[in-house]
Structures are given as structure tokens and as C-alpha cells.
Amino acid sequence: MAIGLGIGVETQSKLMGTTAFQPAKLAASFTRYLIAAILFGVIAFAAIELTRGNGRIAMVWIPNAIAVAILLRWKVRHEAVFLLMMWAGNVSANLLAGDAPEIAAALAFCNAIEISVALALTRRFTGRHPDMRRIDDLMQFVFFAGICAPAVAATLAMLVLDMAGIPLAPAWLKWLVTDGLGMILIAPSLLIFIDAARAPRRLTKLELVEWPVIFACSSAVTIVVFSQTQFPLLFLIPLVVLVHAFRMGSLGTALAILKIGFIATFLTWMESGPIHLSDHSQDAQLMVLQAFLATAFIIGLPIAAILNKQRSMIDNLEDREARLSLLADNMSDAVMRYNMQGECTFASASVADVLGRPVHEFLGRRPTDNIHPDEMETIPAIQMRLLKGESDKERFTYRRLLDDAEGRPAFIEADCVLVRDAVSNEAQTIIVSCRDVSDRIRLEKKLVRARRHAENAASAKSQFLANMSHEIRTPMNGVLGFVELLLQADLPEEQRRHAKLIQDSGNSMMSLLNDILDISKIEAGQVKLHPEPVEVRDCIMSCLSLYAANAVQKNITLQAIVADDLPAQITTDGLRLRQIILNLLGNAVKFANEGDIYVEAKCDRDDLVVAVTDNGIGIEKQRLDAIFRPFEQGDTSTSRKYGGTGLGLPISRNLAELLGGSLSATSTLGQGSKFELRIPLKISDGHASVVQEPELAATTELLAGSRILLAEDHDINQILVMAMLERCDQDVELAEDGQKAVTAVMTAKAQGRPFHLVLMDIQMPECDGYTATKTIRELGISADDLPIVALTANAFADDREAAIQSGMQGHLSKPLKFELLENTLRQWLPTKPIPPEIAPQPMTQSGILEPQPVEPEPVEPEAVGPEVGKVTSMEKLWQARRSEALAAVSQAIRSGMNGDASLEELARTVHKLAGTAGMFGEEELGIKASALERGLKADLPNTERLRLAEALLNAA
């Protein structure tokens, strides 16, 4: 109760932050220390009286060992006070033994020093809780507590014993031996007993029988040995100790040592036992007994500690092996071990499931003994790299010898690791972990096939888009081209209005086609960027100029606001930036009725911000995200009232993201909208690309009489382009294919009348435009000598790049516009300046385009008569080409669609029919001709080709 009360008071005092006086606790502690002092004194007195020889020093000094054992296992709060109390007990024992007071106090002080040194060294080097069952802890304790501490105490004690007149050297050795013997016999045994009492273990049934028998037999043997003086039977005692060490462990060995020590000491003191067989002094006999007890300890506890460590290692190995076996037997992967001869020495139970064969078929065999024929090269090569030490790790997938239960190929993924010796770094073994990855391989193959199909589909889509572009642009080239020629003729007002409507409808169709092609290219990931220096101010002003006329018609003012800190040039794709601004500006003009439209450009940290603000119809907030999805507009009424496909904004946002930026919108219904483009601001020091518009480029006039070669295989396109070129007073010569174009160029050069420009169609029989251009360049005619401009229905950026790479200098896409053709001619042919009074007026400084009225130049009827005659004669030419194509199709049907050469010629014929039928109101015929063309080019059976041909004839 006193102890419990003391702890409570102490805790309360700590919580209150005080150090109140606790008499009850001090009384309890003093009582315990007093009892310890009394016990120490009693044991010391007994040790002195029972084991003393002729000298002052005891035979085996036990008290110090007991004190050390207690202090190593129990935490004493006031250890110094505890040692002081034991010193007092020791002094009392010495006084009772007859020592003078000063000798008694001095010797007791030496014992206290010995205990302190033993505790300090043991705790410092072995730890506060040394385990005597561990050989390392036991040996360190013997050295520090059994040798070092007694040596220090013996040295101090010599000063005391010298005053008593005792010889120093023998006394020092006796002190060292007796105190050391007590430390190594008593302290380890007590520590083992205390540990066993704190953590008791249940004895097995065998131990419950074996331990009492061993204890009784060993006690009997010890008593027999020391109860007689006729025979020197001391040699039997080590056997007794070893039996305890091997069968009972450290605990039994400690018990045996104490038992043997007690029996040997008591019976020897009773003048019995083998020690008395020697006729020597009592001191000599005591020394023999000390040596015997030390031998018993050396034979017993160290061996027991070694056996305990061995047993612990074996238990750990067995536990580890059990865990490894549990993992190996239950893991899904198959684990195998191979020696450096390539033979399997271990295989887990999962091998049967993973590799499809029982374990015994792998043990002692090489991995190359049973492999699939498909892996005859892979597996041996990897095995040799591992066995030679050329590689430490390998991972590979192979087909196993046996297929799965369904007869499908089974694939295994193997991870191989070469294990090396930690010291010598020599290769020791190879560990292989295998798993069945058949499902993954099949899935990967499906993904590869799917990817291949997707790539083929994307390629087919790209080719389809190119073909559609060509198929649509070719007839539209004729439609818009001839309409343009008609508008330049002296037509009655009603016919001019009808022709203008045709032109507007054709332009709308081409705009829709361009949008569809753009969004398709973006979705297919086929848009390539071409970063270049761009002048943002000029780009914005150019875009404003294009919509100036439309803005004036709707009473709208276009204004550009460009920040002063905007760099003169940035690096980006100028064509895409211009396309985005045009789309945003076009939407603003379309949906606004009057007022102002602002195009603002500024810098915002590392971004270029271009904002287009209008006061149009606005957009509902919940529809702002939808307008950036293809084919969607603000609401369903928008498309009915304003028209359009809803592709402009999705294209613009995708292009903005391709440029590394974003496109966002804010709007208030009925008040207007603001679209903000952000792209990275990369300042450029290069020369900006110049974007020329028809309105701004026509500052020069063509000189007549330049020689132009037109390479075109389509007869109607030949008539149209030649009419346009003759309209520009140029001398035109025709070549129907690429080979003739090369011949014409080289002949003209040889005759001294070289051409000034070549308009080269891309898709032509015998030799296409790319090949013809490369041939001309290889023959030594450079771009400076003869510029070549591509003329094709394909309008993709890739086609423009291909044209430039083949040696061309420009690109004109169909349908061909007269103004673009005229500007191209101005770029490459001789020109003269236009007088300032008739030149186009520039935009004002405010950014508002001021359109100037221009009186149309009177046109003489005879000046346009030939063109009208050509247009009239085209109907006859169309009928002739139509009849030839239908006759060729009929002949092919009669021949059963046989002959590769004839089929290629037929494909070219129906290609021309498909491209021009729509121009003369026979759209259905054009569709059937296009279908037959694709069927002839594709690997279709003849029955399908015959069906398509008959459908064409039926449509005619």
C-alpha cells in the first residue's frame, strides 16, 4: 500500500508541477534498500566464513555477482543510495569477520567500485539488458565483469591489504580469481534464471520427463564424485555439464553449474572429494577447486550459448524455409533455380500450372531440352549470355512447348536473374520466374491488329478525303471558272444575276468542303504546323480588309486595337493564326447587324491574346461549350436564319490547341459576344511572311506575250485554263501528260524559245506532275530559269509541301479562280506598275477599310466573243467525251473486265467522266462513274466491277 500511495503522490505532484515531500515513498524505498543491505551482509559473511582459507580473501566471492545481476535486471531509482546501503552491509560483514574498522570500510569500498565498474562497462559495450544465452553477450560480460572489474578492485584493495601486512602479489591474484569466479559463475546463472522467470515457456512432454531425470542423475553423479576420496573422478563432471548444455539449454546448464559448485564447495569444505587426494596446502586445494569451477563454467554456459545460437539459427532457417516454401507453393508464378551448368535444381509446385508439365520433368534438365521450334534461337542465346556472365538480368517472352487445353498457343514471360557471391562476385546460380501471359499476348495481338486497322482506316480516310477533294474540286473548277468568264462577258442583267448566284453557291460549297476537310484532318491528327516569323499587326489588318466590304453593307465599323508593347514579330504558324482570326471575324460580321466590331491584340505575360468583340445576337451561357463542338450552333434557329455548318469555331479551337494555346468565349444573349484566342508569345527576330490578298496584291499589271506551258490531261480543264491565260494575253502551249511536258520544256530550251512558267497538273497518266518536275530539275533547269506551279484538285498542306519538295515554286488548287491565277502570274512573269490613281486604296489608320467606288472598264463585245464561243462549243465536246466513256464501259463489260492495261485506261476515262458530269447537270452519272473508278482501282472481283459498270450505263 505504501508503494502504491507513493506512486500516486508522485504522479499528482508532477501534474501539479511541484516536488512535494513524499515520506511514505521514501520510507518504502529505505526499507527495500535496508533489506538489500542486510542480505548483502549476510551473504558476504557466509562467503568469508565458509570459503576462507588461511588468508583474508574468500575462495568464491558471491555478493558482488548477485548485486550486478540484480542491477542489470531491475531498475533501481536511486542506484547510488542502493550501492551505499550494500557498502554498509559489506562493512558490517567485514567487522563481524574480525577486520579492523578501517580495513572493513576500505575492502567494502573496493567491492562497491568493482560492482560499479562491472555495471558501467557491461552497459556501455553490451547493452543495458545483456542476454547470457547469446555467446557474444556472455563473452563480453565475462571480460568486463569477470576480469576487468575484479582487476580494478584488486588493485585498489592492495593498498588496504598492504596496510594489513598481507603479501601483495598473491593477494592481488586471489582477489582477481575469487571475485572473477563469482562473477562468471553466479551472475550469468542468476541473469538466466531471472529471464526464464520473466518469460516462462511451457515444457514439452519429453522435457517434462527428461529434465527431472537428467537433474537427478547429474546430482547423484556429482555427489558420488565429491563424497569419496579414493578415486580422481573429476573427469565425470564435464560430462554432466555437457549433458545439461545439450539437452537442457542455458537454463539447465546454469542450474547445473550452481548445483555442482554448491556440492563441490560444501563437500570439499567437509574435507571430502577428489580435491583432497593431492597432498598440498589448503590454499593449493582451494585454487584447484576454483580452477575446477571455472572449467565447469567454461565447458557449460559458452557451449550452451553456442548451441542456443545454433538452435536459433536453425529455427530461423526452418521458419524462413517454411515461408519460402509457402510462397513458392502458392504463388501464381513458376520459380526455378538453375546451376551454372544450366541444370534445374529446384522447381516450385506452380510449374505444373504455368508450364503445363509436372515438376520432376524439369529437375536435372536444361531449359533447351524441351522448347518449341519457334524458340530454338531465342532461349539458347539468352541462356548462354547468363551462363557466361555477360548479362545479369534478362526478360523475354516465348512460346512454350505445349499448347493450352483449347489447342491455342501458350506464351510464357520469364524473368531471369544471375545470382553472384557477395564476396567473390562469382556467378553462383540463376533464378527464373515464369508466368503465363497468353491472354496478354492475344490481347496485344488484337490491339496490334486493331491499331493496324485503325491506321489503315485513317490512311483510307486521308486518301478518301484527297480523292473527294479532287473529285469535287475538278468539276467545281469548271463551274466557277466558266462562271467567272461569263461574268466578265457582256451579259444581260438577269443572266448576270443568275451567273452571280451560281458563283456564290459554288463558293459556299467550296467553303463547306474546306471546312469538312479541315475538321477531318484535325480529327485524324494530320495537321502539320509550320512555325515562321509573323507580323501580328499586318495579319490582323489583312483579315479586316477581307471583311471590310461586308461590314460596310451591314453598317458595321471594323476597328483594330493593337497594344504598343506588342512585339513586331512572333514565331507561330501564320496561316493557322490567320485562319482562326478570319473565322472569328467572319462570325462576328455574320451575327452583328450594326455597330462596332473590335479586334484587340495585346500581351499577357507569356501569351499573345487576340480578342474579337461584337454586339451581335449573343449566345446563351449554357450553350457556350456546345458551339465549340462540330456541327453545332447557338440554337436550331441560328442555322435557319444565318446559315453555316457550325464548323468554324471547332476548327478554330482545335487549331488554337495545336498552336499550344486556347480559344474561349464569353457572351450575353442579345448584347454580343467576345472570343479570346491565347497562344504562346514567342518573339522572333526573323523576317515575317507576307500574306498577299487579291485586293492588296494587284498593284502591278502583267505584260503580254509570256510563254506558258500548261500540263493538263483533262480536256475541259484545258479549255478553261487556256481561256483564262489567253484572257491575260499570254502565249499558252498545251501538254497532255508529264512526259510531253518534259519534252516540251527541253525542246523549247533547245530551240531558244524557253517557257517563262509551267502550270503543272499533279494527277496525269504516264507521268504525274511530281515526277515530271523532278525530271526537269534533274535535267539542269533550275527554279530561276523556269518556275513551276502545281495545279491540282488537292488542297491539303501536305500536297503543297510535296509540290515544293519536288521542285515546284507554288501551288494553285481547284476550282481555279481567275484572280488567284492572275496574282500567281504577276508573281512569276514580267509586270509593270499600275498608275497610283487606279491602284487599290489602303486601309485607314483607324483600321476601317474605306471601299472606293471603281467604274467598270467598258468591254467590247468582240473582245469576249471567242470566250463565249468556247463556252458554247463545250456542250458538243462534253457529248463526245460522254459517248467515248460509255462506249469504253460497254466494251469492258463485253470483255468480262479482263486485262490490267485496259482496266487502267478505263479507270482514267471514267475519272474524267466523273469529274465533268456534274458540270452538265448529270450528277447521278458522275456518282456512278466515280464508284466504278474506285472499283477498278480496288481489288474487287470482276462480278462486282461488272455490276458497277452496268449501274453506270443504266444511269446514262
- 3-state SS assignment for residue 815: coil
Find the helix or strand (DSSP H, E) in which 607 lies.
Answer: strand 607-613
Q: What is the CATH number of the domain that holds 99?
A: 1.10.1760
Which of 297, 351, 102 has its CA nearest to residue 189?
Answer: 297
Q: What totals of helices (H) and strands (E) does the chain contain, helices first?
A: 30, 19
The mean pLDDT value for 715-720 works out to 79
Backbone φ, ψ for residue 132 (5° rounding): -75, -5
The residue behind cell 563481524 is 96
Say if 471 falls within a structural domain.
Answer: no
Question: Which helix (DSSP H) or strand (DSSP E) does residue 253 occupy?
Answer: helix 236-269
User: Across the chain, what does the average pLDDT equal?
Assistant: 79
User: Domain check: are 767 and 825 in the same one?
Assistant: yes
- Predicted local confidence at residue 524, as pLDDT: 67
CATH number at residue 403: 3.30.450.20
- Segment 433-458 shows an average pLDDT of 87
Domain-embedded: residue 520: no
- Residue 413: inside a domain: yes
Cα(763)–Cα(514) distance, rounded to whole angstroms? 20
- Cα angle: 651, vertex 656, 661; to 5 degrees: 155
CB under 8 Å to 934, separation ≥6 — which residues?
467
pLDDT at residue 703, as a whole number: 81
620: which residues sit within 8 A by CB, 6+ positions away? 634, 635, 667, 669
* Residue at which a domain ends, from 647, 680, 713: 680
Show which of 680, 714, 739 is a domain's final residue. 680
Residue 549 · residue 819 · CB < 8 Å: no
User: What is the 3 state secondary structure string of 264-326?
Assistant: HHHHHHCCCCHHHHCCCCHHHHHHHHHHHHHHHHHHHHHHHHHHHHHHHHHHHHHHHHHHHHH
Annotate 719-740 with DSSP letters as a single string. HHHHHHHHHTT-EEEEESSHHH
Q: What is the pLDDT of residues 484-517, one digit of tens each?
A: 778 777 788 888 888 877 877 777 777 777 777 7
- Asked if 714 and 815 sit in the same domain, the reply is yes
pLDDT of residue 845: 36
Q: What is the CATH number of the domain that holds 828?
A: 3.40.50.2300
Give yes or no for a contact between 188 and 138, defined as CB atoms under 8 angstroms apart. Answer: yes
Reported confidence tier of residue 875, pLDDT bands at 50, 70, 90: low
Based on the fold, state whether residues 649 and 737 are members of the same structural domain.
Answer: no
The count of other CB atoms within 10 Å of the CB of residue 943 is: 9
Q: Is the CB of residue 89 less than 8 Å from the CB of residue 38? A: yes
Task: Say which residue the cell 564447495 belongs to.
Answer: 265
Assess whether 721 and 669 both reside in one domain.
no
> What is the pLDDT confidence band of residue 46, given thresholds at 50, 70 and 90?
confident
Query: Looking at the domain assignment, is residue 722 inside a domain?
Result: yes
Pair (340, 413) in one structural domain = yes
Confidence of residue 678 (pLDDT cuts 50, 70, 90): very high
In a domain, 169, yes or no: yes
Q: Is the pLDDT of residue 146 over 80?
A: yes
pTM metric for this prediction:
0.41
Phi, psi of 408 (to 5 degrees): -90, 150
Question: Cell 584447484 sits at which residue?
Answer: 288
How far is it between the farthest Cα atoms of the chain?
163
Total count of domains within the chain: 6
Q: Tell me what the mean pLDDT of segment 79-90 comes to.
A: 87
Instruction: Average the pLDDT over each of 95-109, 252-266, 876-890 and give the range with the smallest value.
Output: 876-890
CATH of the domain at 653: 3.30.565.10
Q: What is the pLDDT of residue 694?
A: 42
687 within some domain: no
Per-residue pLDDT of 315-336, as tens digits, reads 888 888 888 778 777 777 888 8
Whole-number pLDDT of residue 863:
38
Q: Are residues 567 and 636 in the same domain?
A: yes
Are residues 825 and 932 part of one domain? Answer: no
Residue 658 · residue 609 · CB < 8 Å: no
Q: Say yes or no to pLDDT of 460 above 80.
A: no
Among residues 622, 654, 680, the one where a domain terminates is 680
Shared-domain flag, residues 354 and 263: no
pLDDT over 90 percentage in the chain: 9
Do both 398 and 255 map to the same domain? no
Q: Which residues contact 195 (CB under 8 A, 6 or more apart)?
A: 73, 131, 132, 133
Does residue 208 sit in the same domain as residue 162?
no
In a domain, 117, yes or no: yes
Task: Give pLDDT, residue 50.
Answer: 61
At residue 572, φ and ψ (nearest 5 deg) are -165, 180
In this structure, the answer to whether residues 196 and 252 fall within a common structural domain is no
> What residue numbers bound the domain in which 619 lies?
536-680
758 within a domain of the structure (yes/no): yes
The answer on 648 and 570 residing in a single domain is yes
Measured CA to CA, the distance from residue 621 to residue 619 in angstroms comes to 6
Tell me how far apart the alpha carbons of residues 337 and 345 are, in angstroms, rounded to a whole number. 6
E strands present in 669-737: 672-680, 700-702, 707-711, 731-735
Helix, strand, or coil (residue 101): helix
At 54 the pLDDT is: 46
CA dist 782 and 807 (Å) reads 9
Rounded Cα distance between 249 and 869, Å, is 125
- Per-residue pLDDT of 184-195, as tens digits, reads 888 888 888 888
Q: Can you say how many angstroms the Cα of residue 480 is from the centroid of all Cα atoms in its chain?
A: 54
Which residues make Cβ contacts (< 8 Å) with residue 112, sequence separation at least 6? Answer: 83, 84, 86, 87, 90
Please give the grid coordinates belonging to residue 920.
Answer: 452538265
